[in-house]
Structure 1
């Protein structure tokens, strides 16, 4: 059975002509590599105490080992995604996965802090563009009416991978030593990297690019204009980043909240926090599915749902953090996080619909950059500043208000969505002639 999506008014007129089975195989392998990506990134957190003891490291040195990966991802996501769009996404993903896996193996073999830092630097280089290019591959083999589901599910893989990396890394370290924590993640990634190009073929998933004319020195120049050519797509970037500000703040600081106000030990707080993180991951998937199911024939309704997700999460989190500590509060926080991450799917669908398919890797890199600059980086930091001045409980009461700003940005994008689609359609038509 093949997918043949009906024509719509959306900007991307590329077609999908692969079997349902093959499409899901592509998704499974690409998703598996994303799991490997985050397992390799987060396994370090599980062995912090062992490294600190063995090499007599300071907390700042340990923090730098973690931060260097995020830094390289932030710096290199956009340029490497642009190169992948031009060089070939499947080849690029395979190279990325092999690089971060070999670098993770290098962590296992590190003899001192300097060796470990170089290895972690290379992990960051390898992982920099995987998320953006990976989702571009996934949406290329499915119909457009599944984009919110696929984007939400794919982004949730980062949360699942983070939890698995820390959990499995801790188990391996406990029984075999910390070096096997890194080695286990590396072997898993290398195995998938070897299988991936044997199954996922560029000529089966790729769209043929129009031949460049003799006078066109930069054939990708016009599609690149669509990255920021409409108010709607800019709203998707900004709205997504602002909403992730809230989710990131809760995920990073919730263990400390449990320790301070529930008097939990680090082990118990970690388990409860992991459940909250997994709830957010499940929410990405379920909210994406809901968006696609309810908005199959009206893509702009996805934006209305994104607005609803923002406002519902704001109300639930605000109420939850005004409650006394206890089981009812934890349940309400979990429900809030189920919705708080739900904007990932609709925002990803907006970006895919409003940018040229030949630069989808670059477009999702731009979304990733916005998510990091507006949400994942400042959210935990500003929460810490507020906690220093007012207390962590008060900070958590204020942070959900950012969701109101995210809702307003999405509302602005919704107002201009149809107009932007119509404005961009001629560019798409000219590229296909």
Structure 2
């Protein structure tokens, strides 16, 4: 019997759903804390005198810190305790979210944001494998769809409430308020059941080195192209989440609360996309041996085209309607991608597989996007027009990512069978 089947049988229905709920709530708080900076950008710039390029640097350093620690954190999670890793990292990022609100200079914002990234990297590396191992393969897409709902919900809450708090009180208050939930949920995470305690691995599996683990994953064709595609996809996504609130405020001359409402509604539409993405990935997989990766391909291709049209229309009128549809379609690939990183990875490298995905996502694409978009905006004179052109440039990542997913789909079935036999 393979490791994954043994793992699932050792989880009660309650234990599996407890893991999914706690990890999903933490993921939601994770994205709330990410988006608070995006919606308060204009306020921070006004008080600290920072240009678009420097704000972009802050976001890039945040993402790069996630990249640097994602793989080591995943390696640690596979060999220590996933619930403890999740709990510690949640408390860590919450503390430094609070400290960000105390910042009085560029470095005062930059350094704590980098440490927020460290905490968030460790969380996903432990949480995703727990969910994947608690649910059977046939239901994994739906479970990951529920988990990934946290991205749009958290983003929307961060935008909506963050904008209101910043406009009503101060941008600092938003960081202080949103730092609290992660500490509470971190405590509850300690009660999750760790699958590594249910099954003994062979010594040769436990002792595999960090670099051998990376090489083993790189040799799986499906993962190789998936990792690159996810990096390209997140060039577009990170640019959108970082810069569209500021773009809306400039283009339509509105405050943070109004911009947060508009972008928050787009983010909320992604809840629908996450559910549909999980259902579609599982359903298509039953009919087609490459179904999950084809779901990711078509979802990302459609989302990228919709975003181009929406930005051309300045997210106004029909452009806003297209933006709402983009919000739903932008996350359709995520349940499939998350599941595939676990489907085709060896059982003892589940956490490392996601950690490698996160590492590649940031280093090969996503982490650089905020800085590049901010730099292009400054070169073009800033303002609404410069930022619009920079955002349009970022959509190239989505189209490249879709192409990578299409290539990955060609080897998915064979790699899935190979993993099941291990």
In the superposition, the TM-score normalised over structure 2's length comes to 0.81
Structure 2 unaligned runs (5+)?
none
Residue 174 (structure 1) shift: 6.6
Partner residue of 1:245 out of 235, 244, 249: 235
* Aligned-partner Cα distance in 1 for 2:315–2:115: 42
Residue 176 (structure 1) shift: 7.1
Offset from partner CA, 1:243-262 (integer Å, 9 cap, x none): 23333333334345545655
* Aligned-partner Cα distance in 1 for 2:394–2:173: 39
Q: Aligned to 1:313, what secondary structure does the other structure show? A: helix
Partner residue of 2:407 out of 409, 412, 419: 412
Mark the CA change 1:324 to 1:296 in structure 2 (over 3 Å): closer, same or farther: same
Residue 86 (structure 1) shift: 0.9
Mark the CA change 1:104 to 1:423 in structure 2 (over 3 Å): closer, same or farther: closer
Residue 359 (structure 1) shift: 1.9
Structure 2 counterpart of 1:358:
348
Cα pair 1:246 1:379 within 8 Å, conserved: yes
* Aligned-partner Cα distance in 2 for 1:242–1:173: 32
Partner residue of 2:324 out of 334, 343, 362: 334
* Aligned-partner Cα distance in 2 for 1:356–1:294: 23
Matched, 1:75 2:65: no
* Aligned-partner Cα distance in 2 for 1:230–1:101: 36
Partner residue of 2:200 out of 203, 209, 224: 209
Matched, 1:233 2:223: yes
* Aligned-partner Cα distance in 2 for 1:33–1:218: 30
Matched, 1:275 2:277: no
Residue 89 (structure 1) shift: 0.7
Cα pair 1:12 1:354 within 8 Å, conserved: no
Residue 82 (structure 1) shift: 0.9
Residue 350 (structure 1) shift: 1.8
* Aligned-partner Cα distance in 2 for 1:28–1:360: 20
Matched, 1:139 2:132: yes
Structure 1 counterpart of 2:48:
57
Residue 40 (structure 1) shift: 3.7
Residue 172 (structure 1) shift: 5.3
Cα pair 2:38 2:243 within 8 Å, conserved: no
* Aligned-partner Cα distance in 1 for 2:40–2:389: 32
Mark the CA change 1:22 to 1:116 in structure 2 (over 3 Å): closer, same or farther: same
Cα pair 1:248 1:375 within 8 Å, conserved: no
Matched, 1:20 2:10: no
> Greater Rg, structure 1 or structure 2?
1
Q: Aligned to 2:27, what secondary structure does the other structure show? A: helix
Structure 1 counterpart of 2:278:
288
- Pick which of 23-32 and 323-332 moved more: 323-332
Mark the CA change 1:167 to 1:402 in structure 2 (over 3 Å): closer, same or farther: closer
* Aligned-partner Cα distance in 1 for 2:24–2:123: 11
Cα pair 1:310 1:407 within 8 Å, conserved: yes
Residue 355 (structure 1) shift: 0.7
* Aligned-partner Cα distance in 1 for 2:241–2:249: 14
* Aligned-partner Cα distance in 2 for 1:99–1:250: 26
Residue 419 (structure 1) shift: 3.2
* Aligned-partner Cα distance in 1 for 2:22–2:110: 29
Cα pair 2:277 2:335 within 8 Å, conserved: yes
Structure 2 counterpart of 1:3:
none
* Aligned-partner Cα distance in 2 for 1:77–1:108: 25
Cα pair 1:241 1:375 within 8 Å, conserved: yes
Cα pair 2:67 2:360 within 8 Å, conserved: no
* Aligned-partner Cα distance in 1 for 2:175–2:248: 29
Structure 1 unaligned runs (5+)?
1-6, 429-433
* Aligned-partner Cα distance in 2 for 1:165–1:43: 5
Structure 2 counterpart of 1:151:
144
* Aligned-partner Cα distance in 1 for 2:163–2:305: 36
Cα pair 2:163 2:256 within 8 Å, conserved: no
Offset from partner CA, 1:350-401 (integer Å, 9 cap, x none): 2111112222221111111222234423444555566656965566666545
Alignment of 1:303-322 (within 5 A): 303-321=293-311
Cα pair 1:133 1:361 within 8 Å, conserved: yes
**Alignment RMSD, CA only?**
3.8
**Matched residue count:** 414
